[in-house]
Every structure is written in structure tokens, then in C-alpha cells.
Amino acid sequence: MADLYPPYPPPLSPEEESYLLSNLKDWSIAHGLAVRPPPSYVPEAQNPGNALAANAPVTLFPSLFPRTCFEQASDVAQAYNVLYSAIACDEAWLGAVVEELIEIDDFMAGLWKVHLKVKGEGYAQPLSLGLFRSDYMVHVDPEQPLKPTVKQVEFNTIAASFGGLSINVAGLHKYLQLIGAYPPSMSSLFSSGKIPEGQSVPGLALGMAKAHEAYGPSSLGRQTCILFLVQDTERNVFDQRHLEYEIIEKHNITTFRIPWTKVLQQTKLDDQRRLLYLPPQRPDQEYEVSVVYFRAGYAPSEYNGQADWDARLHIERSAAIKCPNILTHLAGTKKVQQVLATPHSPHLSRFLKDSAEADAVLKTFAPIYPMDKSEAGLQARRLASDPESASRYVLKPQREGGGNNIYRKDIPDFLKSLPEQQWPAYILMEMIEPPAQNNVVLRNGELQDGGVICELGVYGACLWRQGEGDGKGEVLYNGHAPYLLRTKGSGVSEGGVATGYSALDSVLLVDK
């Protein structure tokens, strides 16, 4: 593995570090590469009106990434759009997968119940929008250390974040190179095109614009708008705002932000179940909502009572195009990933008829086993219970959100502590073995350096006609938009940037 990457990054003298940091901090704020600081950084009392901002956590250097791997991940993005839109259209298949989890996962049971209710009266909107992000790590097979591939970590079908900020990290690192903030020894790494242009903001906004256009003008002559459904307190607000600005300025579409807890108060359905938004700042005006973009409502912790479930049902019943609808949300569960990635699974070819596409997607799967009593499940239970074999695996809960993965040699003891009927709530995944590299992260005004692990996210934007739930969907728009690189200290096993474990990064392509 030592041969995959050259030694990197070069050390900085104190003067180099100071120069790089001052330029990094100023450029970030000047270009909106920012977050609202957490209370642990700036106490709320010190932050009247929540008007302060801090630069988003970023790496000082772009991280090395094999060009073949970057291309592999980009090349399968549209196949993944086809795959997941097809899954979301196949209610019977998805239902069978989800049903296994309903007993043990209240959140999924709740989502499924919402779907069934809407199905009962009939869906009012045949179109569905997915703004997806497929996350990968570089995997180095010890047998072929110079032939790295990407392996999928997870596939996000709801609230995939950082598309609005990641594009600027590539800009930041290119700027730092341009002004000579990196040591001269790095310049050979930086020949033209080595940091690919980010496309996330225009790509995601175009997807939303396509959906808005497909919704069409209001048949009652109302003004239409896209609704960003957001959490009540959102520190990662600029990530979302950059998408809004692109939609408003490039596509001339009206957008509004509505807090998750205000859905029932600020929206209503008309007699055709069209979703109407009543802006509190302009109570005499009604907007007809073309697209609801979920940046909230994705985590179990957001459903604290019947009102939250009512809100989700209210939107699902509406004629607005959901990004995503419930079936698409459920398609993103790890159980689906596991079913697809179970060795010798027949499922992939069910959804991807094009065998070249299916092969390409299959190559990005790390083997994933169920923990049930199927044949593959029994094999997994053996692998997971033996400390020796368990050391190549991770045990993950099927639910979204992270924070509870069990790694390698910790797995056998954990399983012993867990009643066996709860085992099927987990999947067993072969560990991806990323190449070692180092970087330095600036977070909350402080530096952290050391070994890091990088996760590449490739965005997809897909608009499809849902069909009758019979698997006969039709893709109307299929676009993809690289990229996000998220980098975390390799001592850290979990985390999203917003929760503070990792940083935004960009890709420095390595051709070897």
C-alpha cells in the first residue's frame, strides 16, 4: 500500500502554515464556504441574532485519489440513478424487503404506514425526484495493491448534503495552489486538471429545475415555488443556500424554506391535493408547491410525536413532487444495499436490465451479508462470531444516521450482548481497506493533523414517472454531478462533517 501514493502532504514551515491558513480562512468566508458556528465554539449569548459564521471544516490540502477510482465512481452514477428509481417504483419488491424490518424498526414501520395510507387513497403525483449521493472509499486489495477500486459505503436517497459547499472546496484548493501557498515540491502533483471541477451546485439545481418544469404551471394560475423543508436549527445552512441561489438566479424559480415543525401550520392541500404554501411574511398570498426538497424529516429523532408523522403524511398525500417520496426514502435503507450486495444476489439484474451497467455497479459493492437465518445470514453469523474472521468486517445497523457501527474484533462480544432476535437489525459488511494517507484539518479555528480516510460522494439527479408501483417506472431525466470528498481522521470511525468528526476536502487525482 505504501506504493499507491507518493509521500504527502509535504511538511509546512511555520511561515508557510501561517500564510496558507490566513489565505484559506479569508477565501472561505469570502466565497461562502461557511457554517454557523456550534454553541461549543461560540456560545449563543455571544451570537445575537445568530449572525456569526465560521469557515466550514476543511482540509488544508486536497487529498490524493486514484484517477481510475474517481472515474469508476463517476461512470456508474447514472446507472445508480436507474437502479434506485427502479427500486422506488417496485413497491412489491421494496415492501418485501422493508417488511422484514418493520418489527424491529419503528421508524421504517412509520414510513411504510404513511406510504400505505397514501396508496389507499391513490398517489396524487406520478413524478418523483431523487437527488442522490453515492458514497465510496478507495479499496486496496492486499493481493493487488496497485489496482485500487472504489467500494460503496452507502447510498443516500434523502437529504444528501454538502453539494452546496463541496464545489467551493475544489475552488479553495485550486486558489491556494495558484497563489503559491503550497510548497514548490507539490507543483508536479498539480498539473492541469488534477483537481476536477465540482459540478454539484449546477447539477443538483438542474435536477430540481427539471422537476419544477415537469410539474408545470399552476392550473389555477397560482405562482409556483420549490419548498426547502429544513430543520428548525440548521448550522449547515449555507450548503442549502447555495443551491437556493442557483435555483433562483440561474433558473428563475421561486424558493422558500419551511421548518419541519411548521409544515402543518404553513401549508395546506386544496381539493385536488395541490400543496399550497402560505408564507407567514405574506399571509395574503398562496403559492402552489411544485417540489418539496427534504433537508429534514430524514432521521428518527425528528419524529417526536403524531404531529411529525402527520406532517410527513400531509406532504406525501400532496400533488407536489417529493424529493424524495416515501418509497425512495425507504429504498435508501441499508437493508436494500445489503440485499443488492449479498453475494450471488439475483436482485441487481431485476432493476438494471443493461448487463454492462449491472456489472459496473456490482464492482462497486463490498460484500454485504444479512444477519438473518437465510443461508447467507448463517454464513455471516459464523464470520461475525469468530474474532479472527470478524476482523475484516463491520457490523452496521440497518437504520440511517450512523454512530452505532461495530468494528472488527468488537463484533463477537457485541453480538453476545445482543438478544438474537435483534441480530437481523444489523448487516455485516466486508471492511473497505482504504490506502493510508495524511492531511491537516481546520475545524472551529483549530488544526488537527494525522492519518485520514477519504469518502468520495457522487451526486445523481433523477426525475422519473413512478408508475403504478408495479416496477414500470420511466426515467425522464438522468444527470450526475461530482463530487464531494469528505475526509476524517482515521482514528475516527464515524461521522458527518456537521457533527464535527470530519472535514470537506477535494480530490487531487493520482494517475499511477
26 binds a second copy (CB under 8 A): yes
| Cell output for 260 | 419541519
Instruction: Point out which span in 87-95, 126-134, 275-283, 395-403 binds a second copy (CB under 8 A).
Output: 275-283
Residue 335, SS3 per DSSP? helix
Binding of residue 442 to a second copy (CB under 8 A): yes
Residue 194 a catalytic site member: no
Annotated binding site for substrate: 133, 158-161, 234-236, 240, 295-298, 486, 497-498
Half-sphere exposure at residue 147, Cβ-oriented, CA atoms within 13 angstroms: 4
**Which residues sit opposite 441 in a β-bridge?**
59, 448
Exposure pattern of 419-456 as b/e (b: 16+ CB <10 Å)?
A: eeeebbbbbbbbbbbbbebbbbbbbeeeebeeebbbbb
Helix axes 163-178 and 200-215, enclosed angle (nearest 10): 150
CB-CB contact of 5 with 451 (8 Å)? no
Q: How far is the CB of 115 from a second copy (least distance, A)?
A: 33
Closest to a second copy by CB, 42 vs 360, is 42
By the rule CB under 8 A, 444 interacts with a second copy: yes
52 binds a second copy (CB under 8 A): yes
Residue with cell 435503507: 333
Binding annotation = 133, 154, 156, 158-161, 234-236, 240, 295-298, 334, 396-405, 407, 429-432, 455, 486, 488, 494, 497-498
Cell, residue 31: 466565497
Per rule CB under 8 A, is residue 194 in the interface with a second copy? no
Phi and psi at residue 208, in whole multiples of 5°? -65, -40
Inter-residue contact 310 to 88 (CB < 8 Å) = no
Question: What one-character-per-residue DSSP string does 359-398 give?
Answer: HHHHHTPPPEEESSSSHHHHHHHHHHHSHHHHTTEEEEES
Instruction: Tell me the C-alpha distance between 228 and 255, whole Å.
Output: 7
Closest CB to a second copy among residues 54, 313 = 54
In the complex, minimum distance from the CB of residue 37 to a second copy, in angstroms, rounded to a whole number = 7
- Binding segment for a second copy (CB under 8 A), chosen from 199-207, 247-255, 270-278, 336-344, is 247-255
Among 237, 361, 504, 509, contact with a second copy (rule: CB under 8 A): 237
For helices 106-121 and 91-102, angle between their N-to-C axes, nearest 10 degrees: 140
307 binds a second copy (CB under 8 A): no
* DSSP reduced 3-state for 209: helix
Take residue 308 and report the three cell numbers written for it.
411529525
Which CB sits closer to a second copy, 381 or 443? 443
Considering the complex, state which of residue 57 and residue 377 has its C-beta at the smaller distance from a second copy.
57
Annotation: binding site for ATP: 154, 334, 396-405, 407, 429-432, 455, 488, 494
Can you tell me which of 1, 16, 350, 500 binds a second copy, judged by CB under 8 A? 16
Backbone angles phi, psi at 365, to 5 degrees: -85, 135
> Binding to a second copy by residue 39, rule CB under 8 A?
no
The catalytically annotated residue of 63, 85, 161, 200 is 161
Catalytic residue status for 490:
no
Please report, as ranges, the residues that interact with a second copy according to CB under 8 A.
Answer: 13, 15-16, 18-21, 25-27, 29-32, 34, 37, 42-43, 46-55, 175, 178-181, 184, 237-238, 241-242, 245, 248, 254-255, 279-283, 442, 444-446
Residues noted as catalytic: 133, 154, 156, 161, 334, 396, 400-401, 486
